[in-house]
Amino acid sequence: MKKSIFVLIQIALSISLFSQQRIALVSSTLDSSGKKSKATQTQKASFQNTPKILDPVTVTAQKTAELLQAIPLSVTSISAKQVADYQLWNSKDISALVPNMYAADPGDKRNVISLRGISTTSYDPAMATYIDGVNQFSLDTYIAQLFDVERIEVLRGPQGSLYGRNATAGVINIITKKPENKTNGFAETTIGNAGLQRYSAGVNVPLVKNKLYFGAAYLYDQSNGFYTNTFNNTPFDKQSSVIGNFYLKYLPTNDWNITLNVKHNNNTNDGTFPLVMDIAKAISNPFKLSQNALTQLLDNTLNASISANHIGKKIHFNSQTAYQSNYRYYKTPIDGDFSPIDGITIINNYGKDWNNVKVFTQEFKLNSANNKAKFRWMAGTYYFHQNNPTKQGTRFGKDAAYVGSPDINFSMITSTKAVTDGVAAYAQGVYVLAPKLELTAGLRYDLEHKNQSILGQYQKDPNPNPIFNFRTDTSASANFHAVSPKLALSYQLLENNLLFANYSKGFRAGGLTPLSSDPSQPAMYVYQPEYSNNFELGIKNMFYNNRLMLNITAFYTTVNDAQVPTLVMPDAVTITKNTGSLTSKGIELETRSIWNNFELDYNFGYTNASYQTLKLAQNGTAVNLAGNKQIFTPDINSNLAAQYGFVLCKKQQLKASIRGEWRYIGEQYFDLANTISQASYSLFNSSVSVNMRKWSVKFWGRNLANKNYISYAYDFGAVHLGNPKTYGVTLGVKF
């Protein structure tokens, strides 16, 4: 009942915001006689440097440039200005900025993302992430930090026809800034509490005008973290990272351009998993833990791509070749029992031949050149090759009896070599059925082949060599395929009002289960792809000469052959099986308005996602969890941001702004049994900015009420808290 009341309150707030803005717009523009008031004229003179309307937004959500408000698709677009205003430093920071989206990590910067009740539950994500057109293939190979960003596009709902595998929840497109004919650059410094330091700089230079361009950007950040390890009374989760982004763009002719892009991300983490096993203790004694196995995580990622584009009179051509690698390891064994006892430690430092994921991708795309033709089309092919060799040792120490081990001072070592190849072909077209009425149809076919070999070894301390194999070297392979259709109708009600309805299908790749210590979870078990079907109805509106945007979408999604994970401890191995079906339904609202010196953003999402069937094996018996809620899925999320700008000194171009944000995250669960939960909570952020010509300074604070809340939890009970109150100052310059 309380949830229903809150939903009504949120919807009422949405309607109220819309109504108040409408009244404010009219009343501030017209006096009682219907003429523009002197106050309005004076105000416009005072704030003539501030924006007056919402600029048209161009996105490449459907792999071609289109106006956001003109495509029959639920897309949230976050501009470079909004990235700066919201202070988005990591892809998980866009939680609640996108309706029905939630993202968090357990402390290691590998984000679990949920959208519309479809959640990442394994190394095959449900939310595909692309950076400058390159698919960040898995949780290991993607770069989560954000800087030098031009815009972020979030496509809500399955995107199988154009993006293929692992886009069952949607797609995040991150587009960084590109070099131009004019030399420009930036530098920014941030200092904050908890030892926060963040330094970034970039430059774009035309080496040969209209012919050859170079761009480079760098970011270094570090933090002492928030957790204290009471085992030795030292800061636990100290982190630092170095990120680079380099471009070389060549235009051999007027209709060809070739771009080479290299990105790298090098993370160092002295407290990879700041987790507490007791929920009550984590909340009552926040940011305190006790772990005896102290180590350092080194996480090195490289992304490189080369793109070739041809702009033809009738057909455009695009080719993108990409390579990704990630080498992630712990210098010394890491704590596996999250306690001060010598119970369980995890080892994975076996040299560069192991735990070094490598991915090669190639995409070719053709599309029609005339975007005003009665029939517009796109077609392409996609290939990938992934090599994922993993080796991990689970060591049971002298206190292993406390964690239920029958023996002490030994290790179980599992080695897995996994190779996956996949090909796909897709096509999508838009046909004008009648004036103002368009039909979009798309189809994609994906085919994958997986081959996996495993070896399990038993090693006694201090013997450096395994004594025997508890699982002999064996291998298996599997083939998977998927057909992903899409169908959409859109009708232009008025010039700035679009009504659309669409159906789309997505799939998450199938695979082979890894080796674990649980004999009831057999290795090499083939689990099938997970399929989702999404139906949505939406309307996009622009009012008052592009001063107010209002978009509303309702959706209904079903998931068949749901891939349900079981985390096997102490191995920290995820076993996936097709044991459930899920239904998710909800509503989304996005509104943005701008009026002279005042900007207002409000987003709202409601999701009801529950399992229709769900059977899990627990303690040797089958447990029926039908009716339980999906994990990492708040029932409600919303974001309200208001910003007021004013001119301090027109002659010196001195301007200032005051900003406030309220994010609401509803109740959610972190385990399929729905025993680990976080009640609804609010987060409040604020900032004050001053700009003078090319210089800017911002004083900011986040989670100002210092709310303690669970942002991430494992189903075995280990929880990680969201960041407490943080504050600092940011100084920037552009040239």
Residue 368, H or E segment: strand 356-368
344: pLDDT strictly greater than 50: yes
**Closest by alpha carbon to 632, among 568, 577, 676, 576?**
676
Query: 42 phi and psi, to 5 degrees?
Result: -65, -40
Burial class (CB in 10 A: 0-12, 13-18, 19+), 660: middle
The total of other beta-carbon atoms located within 10 Å of residue 166's CB is 26
Distance CA 150, CA 170 (A): 20
Quick one: average pLDDT of 9-32? Answer: 41
Contacts of residue 713, Cβ cutoff 8 Å, sequence gap at least 6: 279, 670, 671, 676, 678, 719, 720
408: pLDDT strictly greater than 60: yes
The whole-number pLDDT of residue 3 equals 52
- 3-state SS of 135-182? ECCCCCCCCCECCCEEEEEEEECCCHHHHCCCCCCEEEEEEECCCCCC
Reduced to 3 states (helix: H, G, I; strand: E, B; else coil), residue 530 is strand
Reduced to 3 states (helix: H, G, I; strand: E, B; else coil), residue 338 is coil
Distance CA 398, CA 418 (A): 33
Which of 31-45, 118-132, 243-257, 310-324 is predicted least confidently? 31-45
Residue 438, H or E segment: strand 437-460
The whole-number pLDDT of residue 572 equals 64
Distance CA 663, CA 94 (A): 11
What would the pLDDT profile of 660-679 be if each residue is shown by its tens digit? 999 999 999 999 899 999 99
Domain borders along the chain are 47-734
Contacts of residue 498, Cβ cutoff 8 Å, sequence gap at least 6: 69, 70, 72, 490, 491, 492, 539, 540, 541
The whole-number pLDDT of residue 21 equals 42
| CB contact at 8 A, 717 and 724 | no
DSSP, res 13: H
Quick one: average pLDDT of 121-136? Answer: 81
| CB contact at 8 A, 241 and 266 | yes
What is the identity of the amino acid at 682?
A: S
Distance CA 510, CA 477 (A): 12
The whole-number pLDDT of residue 43 equals 38
**Closest by alpha carbon to 559, among 208, 216, 158?**
158
Higher pLDDT, 567 or 682: 682
Higher pLDDT, 716 or 551: 551
Using CA atoms, how far residue 229 sits from 284, 338, 343, in Å, is 16, 11, 17
Quick one: average pLDDT of 500-505? Answer: 95
Quick one: average pLDDT of 68-92? Answer: 93
Higher pLDDT, 362 or 47: 362
Over the chain, what is the mean pLDDT?
88
Residue 9, H or E segment: helix 2-29
| Burial per residue of 700-726, b for 16 or more beta-carbon CB atoms within 10 angstroms, e otherwise | bbbbbeebbbbbbbbbebbbbbbbbeb
Using CA atoms, how far residue 359 sits from 126, 165, 270, 307, in Å, is 18, 15, 27, 17
The whole-number pLDDT of residue 16 equals 41
Quick one: average pLDDT of 349-375? Answer: 93
Reduced to 3 states (helix: H, G, I; strand: E, B; else coil), residue 42 is helix
Higher pLDDT, 123 or 410: 410
The whole-number pLDDT of residue 314 equals 93
The whole-number pLDDT of residue 141 equals 58
Which of 6-10, 58-62, 498-502 is predicted least confidently? 6-10
The whole-number pLDDT of residue 272 equals 84
What would the pLDDT profile of 535-550 be if each residue is shown by its tens digit? 999 999 999 888 999 9
Quick one: average pLDDT of 268-283? Answer: 89
The whole-number pLDDT of residue 147 equals 86
9: pLDDT strictly greater than 50: no
Query: 249 phi and psi, to 5 degrees?
Result: -115, 130
Distance CA 665, CA 606 (A): 10
**Closest by alpha carbon to 530, among 565, 570, 556?**
565
- In sign, the C-alpha dihedral spanning 154, 159, 164, 167 is positive
The whole-number pLDDT of residue 40 equals 40
655: pLDDT strictly greater than 80: yes
The whole-number pLDDT of residue 619 equals 59
The whole-number pLDDT of residue 519 equals 62
What would the pLDDT profile of 452-502 be if each residue is shown by its tens digit? 999 999 999 998 888 888 888 889 999 999 999 999 999 998 888 999 999
Quick one: average pLDDT of 676-685? Answer: 96
Tokens linked to 408: 């002490």
Quick one: average pLDDT of 29-54? Answer: 44
122: pLDDT strictly greater than 90: no
pLDDT bin (cut points 50, 70, 90) of residue 518 is low
What would the pLDDT profile of 587-605 be if each residue is shown by its tens digit? 999 999 998 889 999 999 9
Tokens linked to 343: 């119970």
Instruction: Note the maximum CA span of the chain.
Output: 94
| CB contact at 8 A, 699 and 726 | no
- Residue with token string 């993108």: 320
Q: CATH number of the domain at 47-734, please?
A: 2.40.170.20
30: pLDDT strictly greater than 60: no
168: pLDDT strictly greater than 80: yes
Distance CA 637, CA 646 (A): 31
Quick one: average pLDDT of 702-714? Answer: 95
What would the pLDDT profile of 601-653 be if each residue is shown by its tens digit? 999 999 999 999 998 766 567 788 999 999 999 999 999 999 999 999 888 88
Q: Model's pTM, two decimal places?
A: 0.88
Using omega within 30 degrees of 0 as the cis cutoff, is the peptide bond preceding 570 cis?
A: yes
What would the pLDDT profile of 203-242 be if each residue is shown by its tens digit? 999 999 999 999 999 999 999 999 999 999 988 989 999 9
Distance CA 104, CA 119 (A): 11
Long-range contacts of range 518-522, CB-CB < 8 Å, 24 or more positions apart? 518/568, 518/571, 518/575, 520/617, 520/620, 521/566, 521/568, 521/575, 521/617
